[in-house]
Structure 1
Amino acid sequence: KVNVEVRRMGGGFGGKETQAAPLACIASLLAHHTKRPVKYRMSRGDDMIMTGKRHAFQNDYKVGFNEQGLIQGAVINVAGQCGNSPDLSDAIVDRAMFHSDNAYYLNNATITGYRCKTHTVSATAYRGFGGPQGVITAELMMDDIARHLGEDPLTIRKRNLYGVKHDSMRLEDGSIDPRNETHYGQTVEQEVLPELISQLEESSEYWKRREEIKQFNANSAFLKKGLALTPVKFGISFTVQFLNQAGALVHVYTDGSIQVNHGGTEMGQGLYVKVAQVVANEFQVDLDTIQVTATRTDKVSNTSPTAASSGSDLNGMAARDACLRIKAGMIKYAAELNGTSEDKIRFESNHVVAVKADGEEVWTPFAEFTQNAYTARVPLFSSGHYQTPKIHYDRN
């Protein structure tokens, strides 16, 4: 009997995920006793003191590498300072452990995560969710290896990227180690970083600028400059498998306008626009004909959090699924109407286009077509659902 509606939130990216709960409990308690609506608003000062921030981490590592700077093994410890309650610290330290390799093949690695209870305010979810705290450890390793060998850090980074093949890594059977499995057992399938970095290295004139900086630093006693080209590998999903799903509801109206509702919340990241773009692309209509309505529990139920960098992927694909279901009925109707096959129907430039047997193309404005389809009792609404494929997490 309670419907929850969220039009938009202020920017925050994580801080509101759990730490609004105590305030909601206090407001609920007061509302229960006074039998009146209660609004709880903290002063900014109290908010800054009481609300948790990003986890501070203390990390250390030992790394073994050969004369080329290729990592042979690593022992890494990441310790998250969690504050006085668990909050989401368990999953945040997990992610710091996952990202301690960043974009590099660690070979034989042992990574240990510690959740440290402290007497300070409870730390909480923030954008990156432990990822940046792990990534920086991998980047420090690259810099340390480069200093030890007297190489440029970019050279060491490129050599250690996932999927880069090296003759020095030949196995006993003569094959070269593919160097594409993470320390948590996932195979990196899309090895795009070597090519991408090569392009950026050239377009940014990295080596020319590096030499200029060396010259500047040699002649400047106090002011020093630096330069880095740093890759990032970032996993976008929930470790809780069932959260990697989303639902959506799409309505096409007889004037050609389209209404979309989905399970994601808008907090300044542009999610509503992105989902609208997916729908506009699927029907090949102008973006201004799409209206995304407030997230509501009576329209799309059992929603996953808008988190884990997955909001656009999950909700966009759920909306697309709904569009495809509607389009299937529209395409069938258009084919019957024009005496052609369904594969001869396409959506293009705010029109539904049918190619007849003699090659003639019939272009019907999208709004006119939807009116005709409604008259012919073609369903112009549908729900959609998406679940991320090939994803699981075995904690053991």
Structure 2
Amino acid sequence: MDFSYDARTEELRARLLAFMDEHVYPAEAVAEEQRAALASPWDEPPVVAELKAEAKRQGLWNLFLPDEEYGAGLTNLQYAPLAEITGRSPQLAPTALNCAAPDTGNMELLAQFGDEAQRKQWLEPLLAGEVRSAFAMTEPEVASSDATNIETRIRRDGDSYVIDGRKWYISGAMNPDCKVFIVMGKTDPEGADPRRQQSMVLVPRDTPGVEVRRAMRVYGYEDHYHGGHAEVVFEDVRVPAANLIGEEGGGFAIAQARLGPGRIHHCMRLIGMAERAVELTCRRAVSRTAFGKSLAQQGVVQNWIADARVTIEQLRLLVLKTAWLMDTVGNKGAHTEIQAIKIATPRAVVDIVDKAVQAHGAGGVSQDFPLAELWAAARTLRLADGPDEVHQRSLARRELKKYL
């Protein structure tokens, strides 16, 4: 394993770091000011469109997609340090580069499983940043950590599918530019194999029977830049049978294929979030005095900073190893490592950000620093793409299998 960055990665890193310094960080405060003047809280601040145009101009666009036909053609190992950089400003940077969830996962899904017509209608506009999308899987009435529990019904009726169900925390659904949902539901609820009961269909937002009922908050935040999270009801929603993605019964496998890269992308960005938190902690520590000496001279604060550095370096190595394995042996071969980083990274970053909040005192929980929002995002990722306990259960079973 050689984790040194190749020439292309180094060149992209340099360009992206400059883009962050020159455009993204200065835009953070501007975006908040502009948002206050918008007619709708879900409209995009004008500065975001400016960032997107500049990212396109600089060739920093669709870096996440390894498919050379549609994306930058980067390996996971090449993309990892770039995603880490965008994690330092998780609200703006991924969106500016068209590398934000849930669109990234949906584009990967369509590139891998969509047919030619589906890619033409939906993938190409998503790649161009002309529309946004949402992935409708989680449901409020069941434990969605077990995807076989999903109750949404997708029923074949002649040349159509009819969808009935209720979803929530559907990321991106509040964005006015969200034009399509990828909906997971059961086409064969009585099937013998619980992992072959589900299918996925494309549902245009303007289809009769689709109701975006309300925005769901995350620790009080509405995640405007990600298009929010919505409760969505599908009532007698009829779409052409051609909107089926892949085959009937293939929804569970497609979901797993989609979530694998999504999990590592989240972990990459989390490391960037941790780096931003440590930077803010250090700046705060050298600028504040308590009990006769600076915070930087206080042993407890020094311990926080030292422990954070050790943890970040450990996490980065594990994420890079996972990326390398995904590139060399595939997602299935990297299953253990993907689960390991999904368990370890959000948990550790929550602690790092929490210490940064503590170092900032009242400022840490205020809107004047990004720390409270970083904490909420990191804590949420202990649930998103599968809660810790699901990954721990699977990982433990794989370890125990060697001895049974």
State the structure with more CA Rg. Answer: 1
- Tell me the TM-score normalized by structure 2: 0.24
- Tell me the TM-score normalized by structure 1: 0.24
- Higher helix proportion: 2
